[in-house]
Amino acid sequence: MIELLNGLFLVFIAVLAVSTVRLPNLFAVIVIAGFLSLLSDGMLLLLDAVDVAFTEAAVGVGISTVLMLATIGLVGRHEKRPAHRPGLPLAVVSLTGMVLVYGTLDMPRFGDPLAPIHQHVAP
């Protein structure tokens, strides 16, 4: 049951993340980002990380939303269209993501009792 709820949270978070990138109205982006943070709070609660969920709620839903709404007063409500295509930034972000995933391939499996950290007892 918990896995199903985690999966639903993950699907909703992915849909909201894609919609956040696609919207030109910055007010709608801020509202969706606050709701995205609220969904991640629910997911953290299901994972029994209550302290992390509380911090995410205070920072992600509270302070970040207020700061972004204050920023709208300075920059305006609608996004301006870029003058160039975002090919280079997309390539840099994709390459960085691939390098980070490659770096995790050498890690031991989660909870592995034969992992190096579980083989030495500190004095």
Find all residues with CB under 8 Å of 112, minimum gap 6, and list them: 118
At 68-86, the pLDDT tens digits run: 989 988 888 777 777 777 8
In terms of Cβ atoms closer than 10 Å to its own Cβ (0-12, 13-18, 19+), residue 36 is buried
Mean pLDDT in residue range 39-51: 87
| pTM across the whole model | 0.62
pLDDT at 102: 95
pLDDT at 98 > cutoff 90 = yes
Which string of DSSP letters, residue by residue, matches 14-82? HHHHHHHHH--BHHHHHHHHHHHHHHHHHHHHHTT-HHHHHHHIIIIIIIHHHHHHHHHHHH-SBPPPP
Q: Which of 16-25, 59-68, 87-96 has the highest mean pLDDT?
A: 87-96
Mean pLDDT in residue range 49-60: 89
pLDDT at 11 > cutoff 70 = yes
Determine the 3-state secondary structure of 86 from DSSP.
coil
Mean pLDDT for the chain?
Answer: 86
pLDDT at 28 > cutoff 60 = yes
Mean pLDDT in residue range 16-43: 88
